[in-house]
Structure 1
Amino acid sequence: MCSQVRWKLCWENELELADHVELADFFRRIYGPTGLYNAKPFEGSRSWAGARPELRAIGYDSGGVAAHMGLLRRFIKVGAVDLPVAELGLYGVRTDLERLGISHSIRAVLPILEELAVPFAFGTVRPALQKHIERLGRHGPMTVLSGVRGRSTLPEPRLDKPPTRIDDALVTVLPIGRSMADWPTGAMIDRNGPEL
């Protein structure tokens, strides 16, 4: 079944309005069942929730968008160390394909990560996805870190909320240009912007 998914790597400025509309619908369908608020950022043709990705890996099959992974290069601060990374996020797999190994096809983005020459790719996931992400990590060099908090800004400033939020999420790290031994220690990761 995985071989029927074809991957398209595209920079954000290569997407047409129809692509954004299709992706927004995909995200509403996969994030909506986890809570109505989770689908809210994807109203209309908006195909991102927080920070806008600069590169996307989009998996297609005969049913349309099957999977998605967004990528954004940025500097984060781990403890006291500034670190260039490629943040991976906006991950999703259509529910009818979840147990068919589609997540392993996200490796489609690995060659571009190597081209971008970032030392690490990193992302955060909800603790509820721990088993899923650990399965993905067993098939590659990804490391899952717990006990690390993430601080990010809200996508838009609001009068009724603080400008930053702190999450207790699982941190995933994929060494690209350096080894995992070079990942700095620290109990807090500052994005200095909204999460992807």
Structure 2
Amino acid sequence: MRSQVQWTLRWESELQLDEHVELASFFRNTYGPTGAFNAKPFEGSRSWAGARPELRAIGHDSNGVAAHMGLLRRFIKVGEVDLLVAELGLYGVRPDLEGLGISHSVRVMYPVLQQLRVPFGFGAVRHAMQKHVGRFGRHLPATVLSGIRVRSTRPVALLDLPPTRVEDALVVVLPIESAMSDWPTGTFIDRNGPEL
């Protein structure tokens, strides 16, 4: 039987060192099974991989951190249009709770998005997550866009790799203060920074 998950919202500056250590361990254990390289950013007490979130939804149960989603307000460029969004990312759920679903995390964040009065919530996920993000429409006014390429800067400039990377992604858009019809057309998004 699963224990009850309790969600808290935490601004980044509120987190204490022991919480970063606990989150880093959570991400290593969550991302590690998908490849050792995916767990590498979370060594030591680092609880973020690329861009650092400004707000986190953290689910806890009797066994510790159960799930996590981060939020970062930023300007992205969709085609030729600069657009303020609240990027959602750094999602994880403990392996024994995989049925918890990404939509639970987004539902916890949705009232915050409304309070922040951003035009859109935005997230980019790999195509393997299509089944999970396809369920958003049941509970939230989300639209999933395919055929979109997303450019991000690498979190660290390395001599043997280009400073940016482009990925084919599924883009999730949540209209908050604007209508979905206000989302710019375009098949290329520039994050102008590292992914969350």
Distance 1:177 1:2, change over 3 A: farther
Distance 1:63 1:108, change over 3 A: same
User: CA offsets, 1:96-115, max 9 Å, x none?
Assistant: 11114574253111111111
Instruction: Quote the Cα distance in structure 2 between the aligned partners of 1:6 and 1:171.
Output: 28
Q: Which amino acid letter does the alignment assign opposite residue 77 of structure 2?
A: K
For residue 92 of structure 1, what is the aligned residue in structure 2? 92
Instruction: Quote the Cα distance in structure 1 between the aligned partners of 2:102 and 2:157.
Output: 36
User: CA offsets, 1:118-176, max 9 Å, x none?
Assistant: 00000111111111111233322111100000001000111000000001111111111
Instruction: Quote the Cα distance in structure 2 between the aligned partners of 1:106 and 1:190.
Output: 23
For residue 145 of structure 2, what is the aligned residue in structure 1? 145
Instruction: Quote the Cα distance in structure 2 between the aligned partners of 1:57 and 1:139.
Output: 18
Instruction: Quote the Cα distance in structure 1 between the aligned partners of 2:90 and 2:25.
Output: 13
Q: Which amino acid letter does the alignment assign opposite residue 84 of structure 2?
A: P
Q: How many residue pairs are counted as aligned between the two chains? A: 196
Q: How does 1:24-63 map to 2 (within 5 A)?
A: 24-63=24-63
For residue 167 of structure 2, what is the aligned residue in structure 1? 167
For residue 11 of structure 2, what is the aligned residue in structure 1? 11
Instruction: Quote the Cα distance in structure 1 between the aligned partners of 2:147 and 2:177.
Output: 25
- TM-score, normalized by length of structure 1? 0.96
Distance 1:2 1:71, change over 3 A: farther
Instruction: Quote the Cα distance in structure 1 between the aligned partners of 2:5 and 2:148.
Output: 34
- TM-score, normalized by length of structure 2? 0.96
Q: Which amino acid letter does the alignment assign opposite residue 10 of structure 1?
A: R
Aligned-pair Cα RMSD in Å? 1.5
2:71 equivalent to 1:71:
yes
Structure 2: which 5+ runs fail to align?
none
* Residues 24, 47 of structure 2: 8 Å contact kept: yes
* Residues 150, 188 of structure 1: 8 Å contact kept: yes
Percent identical among aligned pairs is 73
**2:99 match: secondary structure:** coil
User: CA offsets, 1:67-88, max 9 Å, x none?
Assistant: 1000000000000000000000
**1:113 match: secondary structure:** helix
